Amino acid sequence: MNRLTLRRLLRSVVLALLLTWGFASLVGASVDQSLLLLFGGLLIGVHAFLGYCRYHRRLSAVFRMQELSDEDYERIKLERHHDGGPASR
């Protein structure tokens, strides 16, 4: 692992521990395995979603991708259908 990845991982772990401790203190819950599992799953999900957003932005920037409107998508689908493309099978 390079230094940047290690720093990000350490920052994520510290943030997860602080959030878990803060929540437990706020509601008066005891910090046990089920609470750690709950927050671990929640934070992994948030981390995965943010990673997907970052990856999508990077791909869009590299390939200069533009999102299609519904009308453009339907037009392309109809053109493929009339041209005997994969949509006509």
pLDDT tens profile 29-42 = 887 888 878 888 88
- Find the domain containing 17 and state its range: 3-88
47: CB partners within 8 A, 6+ apart:
12
CB 57 within 8 A of CB 51: no
Banded model confidence at residue 88, pLDDT cuts 50, 70, 90: very low
Domain count within the chain: 1
Please give the share of the chain, as a percent, with pLDDT higher than 70.
92
pTM of the entire structure? 0.52
Rounded to whole angstroms, the Cα distance separating 43 from 21 reads 14
Banded model confidence at residue 85, pLDDT cuts 50, 70, 90: low
More confident residue, 16 or 79: 79
